[in-house]
């Protein structure tokens, strides 16, 4: 497992989340002069996007994220995105949040699978950040936050070897391996089968720095080429004209990670049979996790910079529906397997007595439910850490 995969996972999933929210907010926006008090306007859309991006690229949050660490469970990361999606006046029901997370994860899983080289995962990340910068092009303060993260990525990953990038790619694929959610866009484009598994192409550009298949060279012990043999391939391969730019600005060449929702079309998700069968294996949601305290420690550090915005005064939170109608959203909520639903743990990294007491209660329940591993974080240590934040 790579200790450098978490920032790439978070930023790419976050980029996909922003693509989806922007598309849905645009679809539901009403011109300002015609909108009722409870309806979305384009001003509301920009405010939501700015608030979420500001929170997502918070300096303190990024410092914690970039520390070398292993990936945590899907449940722990899902909690972070639940908190991030509600960092503005927008509110999502459980079914819409489930659908949002399904779309995010399946999109990035497809991108990781299609990367020509493991290192190209970094280009996918840059494509997401380039698009995010377009969302906030008129907000220079937020733009500086994103650029700072860009520089951190370049500093952290530009010196890694091809082998380390391969470890990162394998770590991400292990994280996604049991997720087989069918997405209408992928099904219509015939890049996903009815069982939720992706169809990988056998044609197209080969990885930068490699040659088109079709030639075997044989060398002697001195390293001299002594024979060539050609063979035919089933695929139609081409050599890429140039490598994508790994600089702060530049042509990434690779299109993976760009906004596939820029052309408006409905997107539905469906639980495949194999994913439904995973319900019996998803006991981490109900059976105590030996690493639960480490995950609470992780969440306490990360969520310290993610504050849910509470509408002030007479302002009300706007609800966003990722389904076509409210009836579809209600049906999805009822049809969702109970084992695959997520219960959000809200942890405020503050020194409020109520928060400390609640966290102590959670840690106490975990202590009773599961014997403490030798490496577990003590509850008082966690509270001390939170005091220091």
The percent of residues above 70 in pLDDT, for the chain, comes to 65
pLDDT over 50 (residue 385):
no
pLDDT band at 331 (very low <50, low <70, confident <90, very high): low
pLDDT over 70 (residue 284):
no
Whole-structure pTM value: 0.74
pLDDT band at 44 (very low <50, low <70, confident <90, very high): confident
pLDDT attached to residue 34: 60
Q: Return the structure tokens found at 327.
A: 């009836």
Chain mean pLDDT for the chain: 77
What is the rounded CA–CA span in Å between residue 240 and residue 120?
13
Give 329's contacts (C-beta < 8 A, 6+ positions apart). Answer: 93, 95, 96, 321, 322, 323
- Per-residue pLDDT of 257-281, as tens digits, reads 999 887 655 566 665 544 444 444 4
pLDDT attached to residue 192: 93
Q: Provide the greatest CA pair distance for the chain.
A: 82
pLDDT attached to residue 42: 82
Distances (CA, A) of 276 to 7, 196, 232: 29, 11, 41
DSSP-derived pairing of the beta strands 215-219 and 225-230: antiparallel
What is the rounded CA–CA span in Å between residue 4 and residue 21?
27
pLDDT over 90 (residue 306):
no
Over residues 164-171, mean pLDDT: 96
pLDDT band at 147 (very low <50, low <70, confident <90, very high): very high
Most confident of 9-18, 253-262, 307-316, 352-361: 9-18
pLDDT over 70 (residue 163):
yes
What is the rounded CA–CA span in Å between residue 100 and residue 233?
40
> For residues 373 and 333, which has the higher predicted lDDT (pLDDT)?
333
pLDDT over 90 (residue 111):
yes
pLDDT band at 335 (very low <50, low <70, confident <90, very high): low
pLDDT over 90 (residue 319):
no
Q: Is the dihedral of CA 111, 301, 136, 144 positive or negative?
A: negative
Over residues 9-18, mean pLDDT: 96
Over residues 3-26, mean pLDDT: 94
Over residues 192-202, mean pLDDT: 91
pLDDT attached to residue 313: 52
pLDDT attached to residue 383: 35
DSSP 3-state assignment of 325?
A: coil
pLDDT band at 25 (very low <50, low <70, confident <90, very high): confident
């Amino acid at each position: 497992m790579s200790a450098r995969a978490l920032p790439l996972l978070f930023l790419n999933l976050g980029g996909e989340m922003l693509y989806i929210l922007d598309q849905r907010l645009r679809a539901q926006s009403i011109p300002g002069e015609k909108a009722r008090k409870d309806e979305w306007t384009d001003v509301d859309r920009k405010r939501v996007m700015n608030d979420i991006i500001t929170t997502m690229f918070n300096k303190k949050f990024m410092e914690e994220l970039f520390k070398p660490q292993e990936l945590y469970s899907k449940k722990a990361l899902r909690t972070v995105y639940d908190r991030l999606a509600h960092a503005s006046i927008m509110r999502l029901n459980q079914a819409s949040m489930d659908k949002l997370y399904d779309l995010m994860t399946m999109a990035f899983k497809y991108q990781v699978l299609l990367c020509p080289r493991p290192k190209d995962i970094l280009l996918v990340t840059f494509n997401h950040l380039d698009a995010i910068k377009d969302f906030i092009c008129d907000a220079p303060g937020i733009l500086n936050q994103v650029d700072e993260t860009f520089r951190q990525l370049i500093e952290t990953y530009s010196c890694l070897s091809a082998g380390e990038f391969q470890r990162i790619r394998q770590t991400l694929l292990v994280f996604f391996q049991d997720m087989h959610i069918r997405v209408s866009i992928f099904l219509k484009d015939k890049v996903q089968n009815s069982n939720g598994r992706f169809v990988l192409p056998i044609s197209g550009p080969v990885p930068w720095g490699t040659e088109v298949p079709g030639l075997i060279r044989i060398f002697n012990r001195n390293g001299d080429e002594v024979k060539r043999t050609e063979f035919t391939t089933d695929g139609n391969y081409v050599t890429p004209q140039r490598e994508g730019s790994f600089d702060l600005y530049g042509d990434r060449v690779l299109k993976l990670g760009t906004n596939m929702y820029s052309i408006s079309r409905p997107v539905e998700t469906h639980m495949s049979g194999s994913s439904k069968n995973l319900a019996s294996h998803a006991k981490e949601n109900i059976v105590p996790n030996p690493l639960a305290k480490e995950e609470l420690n992780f969440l306490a550090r990360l969520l310290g910079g993610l504050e849910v915005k509470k509408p002030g005064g007479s302002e009300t939170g706007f609800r966003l529906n990722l389904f076509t109608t409210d009836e579809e959203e209600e049906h999805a909520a009822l049809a969702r397997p109970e084992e695959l639903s997520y219960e959000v743990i809200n942890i405020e990294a503050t020194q409020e007595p109520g928060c400390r007491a609640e966290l102590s209660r959670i840690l106490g329940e975990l202590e009773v439910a599961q014997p403490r591993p030798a490496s577990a974080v003590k509850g008082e240590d966690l509270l001390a850490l939170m005091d220091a934040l």
